A and B are shown apart, each in its own frame.
Chain A
């Protein structure tokens, strides 16, 4: 099985080396590709100096366009499973095998590493405000798809070959994580959540800043609703044909 870990990175010079080294130590069987999203700091120099495979985007595309580049790379090189893994040290590489296993076993098409499935009080969960937002999104997704996804904003996820192709072809932009889950669910893919612990960020700035969070919620909610409506409509149409 060929496994690719896609690591989107924007201005992650503080964390990227430790992230990749941790990944190679914990999960040596996986290939990794860092997507340098036009970083303004020394991220690319670090990647080059350490011989880390990377794709260098000449324009800043944001997380969606960056990750999609990774999916396109995976399709080009015939990978069986792709894992999305943050470049800021938030995600823990020791969970990658757990994330990949349901896909290899044929139990799921997408596996999301969720901060909320296991509540043993360990590790970094999330701030109260953010949890309110994530709960709201979770309800919205249930409304659109009938499925329960607890941690829709988690960027730690694995996809099988079919979904990788799907995402290489078209992937949500801006704040893509919840929308991608809705797209997968509505198209009939099986999405599974497994419990993971996450670290506090090692460096960099979260792409969701406090001032932007209201804008984020409006935009993501709209995106989830539209993805739900559009795709459900299409499915209905196909059924009537």
Chain B
């Protein structure tokens, strides 16, 4: 792995970590959801500090150029993240539907109570 690539990865890690921490502080990112991003940062730091790990992994998987190994890993991570996000969106859909229905049921009760008074 070239020095330049290592520097680039370090910058990316710094941006990810700083952004994630700031968003957590501002309550714009839940701690739970930030874990995957922080895990990514840890993996990237490991890759920069111990490039032999990347080379070894690339050999095991059968990828000749270590950079391709890094790119493949990024692509996989993105896929996992997107799948995770669609799962979260689906769950939130379910929750907002249940809440909307409950709200409608309660609104009718309130309306009837107000009419009685």
A82 CB, nearest partner CB in chain B, Å? 15
Contact (Cβ within 8 A) B100 A65: yes
Contact (Cβ within 8 A) B101 A57: yes
How far is A65 from B102 in the complex, measured between Cα atoms in Å?
Answer: 11
Q: Is A54 an interface residue (CB 8 A)?
A: yes
Contact (Cβ within 8 A) A73 B100: no
Q: Is B96 an interface residue (CB 8 A)?
A: yes
Number of B residues contacting the other chain (C-beta, 8 Å)? 9
Q: Name which residue of chain A comes closest to B96, CB basis.
A: A59
Contact (Cβ within 8 A) B105 A72: yes
> Contacts of A65 on B, CB cut-off 8 Å?
97, 100-101
Q: Is B46 an interface residue (CB 8 A)?
A: no
> Contacts of B113 on A, CB cut-off 8 Å?
none
Q: Is A145 an interface residue (CB 8 A)?
A: no
Dominant secondary structure of chain B at its interface with chain A? helix
Contact (Cβ within 8 A) A55 B100: no
> Contacts of A59 on B, CB cut-off 8 Å?
96, 100
Contact (Cβ within 8 A) A55 B97: no
Q: Is A68 an interface residue (CB 8 A)?
A: yes
> Contacts of B108 on A, CB cut-off 8 Å?
53-56, 73
Q: Is A58 an interface residue (CB 8 A)?
A: yes
Contact (Cβ within 8 A) A61 B101: yes
A124 CB, nearest partner CB in chain B, Å? 32
> Contacts of B97 on A, CB cut-off 8 Å?
61, 65, 173
> Contacts of B96 on A, CB cut-off 8 Å?
59
Q: Is A69 an interface residue (CB 8 A)?
A: yes
> Which residues of chain B (76-117) have a CB below 8 Å from chain A?
96-97, 100-101, 103-105, 107-108
Dominant secondary structure of chain A at its interface with chain B? mixed
Contact (Cβ within 8 A) B101 A76: no
> Contacts of A76 on B, CB cut-off 8 Å?
105
How far is A27 from B103 in the complex, measured between Cα atoms in Å?
Answer: 29
Write out, one digit per residue, whether chain A residues 4-15 have a CB within 8 A of any chain B CB (1) or not (0). Answer: 000000000000
> Which residues of chain A (137-166) have a CB below 8 Å from chain B?
none
B88 CB, nearest partner CB in chain A, Å? 17
B75 CB, nearest partner CB in chain A, Å? 27
A148 CB, nearest partner CB in chain B, Å? 32
Write out, one digit per residue, whether chain B residues 38-53 have a CB within 8 A of any chain A CB (1) or not (0). Answer: 0000000000000000
> Contacts of B105 on A, CB cut-off 8 Å?
55, 69, 72-73, 76
How far is A83 from B16 in the complex, measured between Cα atoms in Å?
Answer: 54
How far is A173 from B97 in the complex, measured between Cα atoms in Å?
Answer: 10
B87 CB, nearest partner CB in chain A, Å? 16
> What is A's interface to B at a CB cutoff of 8 Å?
35, 53-59, 61, 65, 68-69, 72-73, 76, 173
Q: What are 23 A-to-B residue pairs whose CB atoms are below 8 Å?
A: A53-B108, A54-B108, A55-B105, A55-B107, A55-B108, A57-B100, A57-B101, A57-B103, A57-B104, A58-B100, A58-B104, A58-B107, A59-B100, A61-B100, A61-B101, A65-B97, A68-B101, A69-B101, A69-B105, A72-B101, A73-B105, A76-B105, A173-B97
> What is B's interface to A at a CB cutoff of 8 Å?
96-97, 100-101, 103-105, 107-108
Shortest beta-carbon contacts, A-B, top 5: A55-B104, A69-B101, A59-B100, A57-B104, A65-B97
